[in-house]
Amino acid sequence: MAFFRTTAFVESLPAIEGDRVLLRHPQMTDYPEWATLRERSRQFLKPWEPIWPVDDLTRGAFRRRLKRYAEDQHADQAYSFFIFRKADNVLVGGITVANVRRGVAQTANIGYWMGEPYAG
């Protein structure tokens, strides 16, 4: 997204604040909360995410996920954020702007997931 670009690449994106939510680039310190929410929401998310690797909720898999997010961001291909409830800074889900294409027609796809307790 053009407003994320700077003349020098910055590893971490600025947070985006709304009235009730905060979008922030995922960090390793988010792992415990992320793993707990994903595990609690696993059956709820399976219709949209049918294939979960055996190690999906491990610290190592999360680290690899963050590395991939950083690579995609650096290549200007995708921008991933975690969604936090602003009132208490609780992780409620995630959102990714992916398949970024630049040119005359600038396009992208948006994908998201919400933890079961926060859906709806």
Q: What is the pLDDT of residues 5-57, one digit of tens each?
A: 443 344 567 899 999 999 999 999 999 999 999 999 999 999 999 899 999 99
Say if CB 21 and CB 86 are below 8 A apart: yes
88: left (phi over 0), alpha (psi -120 to 50) or beta: alpha
13-17, 64-68, 99-103: the lowest-pLDDT one? 13-17
Quote the DSSP letter at residue 75: T
The CATH number of 15-118 is which of 3.90.1150.10, 3.40.630.30, 3.30.830.10, 3.30.450.20?
3.40.630.30
Segment 65-79 mean pLDDT: 96
Which CA distances in Å does 34 have to 28, 63, 90, 101?
10, 12, 10, 29
Question: Domain locations in the chain?
Answer: 15-118
pTM to 2 decimals?
A: 0.86
3-12, 20-29, 90-99, 107-116: the lowest-pLDDT one? 3-12
Which runs of consecutive H residues, i.e. helices, occur in the chain? Answer: 31-45, 59-74
Strand 107-114 relative to strand 90-101: parallel, antiparallel, unpaired?
antiparallel
